[in-house]
A and B are shown apart, each in its own frame.
Chain A
């Protein structure tokens, strides 16, 4: 006899407003229905009542973890409507911030995944490391969560001493390589809890429109930093880790490898940081009538902003944000089908869902 188990919207294993109605046969999940929108904020609509300065501040608050990529992508779209081009130094600083944010996000996810695996010591290790990444972000921006780094035509703050930041990044990389990566890639605890569960096939990942590490862990080699480079990514050498298995372990491996690739990009960007201004002259910011669209590779996958403006208007006439979790979350249904009930919290966490982005 099948029965339904509601998980959420406020559940000890999820801790965020999202609901999974699991239809089970014994301990096996047969199907699942997903519900979001418990804290829907209507930010897109709210943005239409804000001027461009207020809008950047507002959109930074779509997400508490990947706040920087939201403003970066938004500013890129706004630059399309104003004709302002960020100077090379600003493009490098944007790249540095984006990769530090990816490091922070991936390490945070690793900690939460470790907790869900019952690997509490690893959780503490990851969160200690995350603090160090946040120290670097704070050293650059003065902030730990909403960095306020991006502006139309550049960034708000310079990196005065790239060598000092480089030393912090190298220390981080050493610690990642020494602790987080080996434990996640070789420990039997991680393997036994993650291998073969929550499988999302390549075909299903493609048809669901999965993005980011979720897609790459299902064998789809998509990464906007490579296919449609923005900021200074065209000048960086890096690999796009892809794993074909599509299970939780593959998603874990992809993120672990991406941590090392982020460190590699950071080292290059800090070493090659070009001299000069870090923002365009902005005495006059004038918007043209039209719609501009921009995309970026957030830690969880592709993010897209579409902004429409009418010349002379104080506010945008439309702002649309497509967040990565909004694209990835429907795939959870296919991941949990056939899984053991006890594995579902870890499976749903394996896409690194952001409910704040989803309920934007």
Chain B
């Protein structure tokens, strides 16, 4: 546990964060700071953290999206949240190969563009174009009915 705490402190130092980890809902969360997702991925690689997943959230109204990135470090689940006012964020695929499919899935499900990568072939849907927010599409089809 002490080893993990040292590692967690090391992450704060590398990110230049003045914030503190908050343990909530089974995850060690680091409140957003001045660092971006690529800087975060670089630090996670340096710490030999294991990427787990990204969870996409569509915020109410025109508030945009929130993406939660999760890594495992020594059995501890780390969480980092990014709020997107638009629908773009930098891809970390070139830094972390394991994000490939989840970035593609979020792109296809939420129409979020991960900048700096290509998506083809389609991962979840066949024979259609990407860039459609499936939630909005489902809601619109229900309204039409």
Contact indicator A293/B79 (Cβ below 8 Å): yes
Contact indicator B27/A293 (Cβ below 8 Å): yes
In the complex, which of the residues B57, B70, B102, B126 contacts A308, with contact meaning CB atoms closer than 8 Å?
A: B57
Number of interface residues of A (CB under 8 A): 39
Given A228-B77, A292-B26, CB of A304 within 8 Å of CB of B53: yes
Contact indicator B77/A318 (Cβ below 8 Å): no
Given A36-B124, A292-B25, CB of A318 within 8 Å of CB of B55: yes
Contact indicator B100/A330 (Cβ below 8 Å): yes
The CA-CA distance from A45 to B110 in the complex, in Å, is 12
Residue among A36, A76, A222, A329 having the largest count of chain B Cβ atoms under 10 Å: A36
Task: Give the A-B contact count at a CB cut-off of 8 A.
Answer: 85
Contact indicator B26/A294 (Cβ below 8 Å): yes
Give residues 296-330 of A contacting B (CB, 8 Å): 302, 304, 306, 308, 318, 320, 322, 326-327, 329-330
Q: Least Cβ distance of B84 to chain A in Å?
A: 15
Given A40-B124, A77-B26, CB of A330 within 8 Å of CB of B75: no
Contact indicator A45/B138 (Cβ below 8 Å): yes
The CA-CA distance from A200 to B28 in the complex, in Å, is 31
Q: A177-216: contact bitstring with B at CB < 8 Å (1 yes, 0 no)?
A: 0000000000000000000000000000011110000000
Would you list 9 pairs from A and B whose C-beta atoms are within 8 A, ordered by A residue? A36-B123, A38-B126, A209-B98, A290-B24, A292-B25, A293-B77, A293-B79, A295-B77, A306-B68
B residues neighboring A (CB under 8 Å)? 24-27, 50-53, 55-57, 68, 70, 72, 74-77, 79, 96-98, 100-102, 121-126, 134-135, 138
Pairs of residues from A and B, 4 with the lowest C-beta to C-beta distance, nearest first: A209-B98, A227-B75, A37-B124, A322-B53
- Known pairs A36-B123, A291-B68, A330-B97. 7 more at Cβ < 8 A? A37-B126, A80-B26, A209-B52, A228-B75, A228-B77, A290-B24, A294-B26
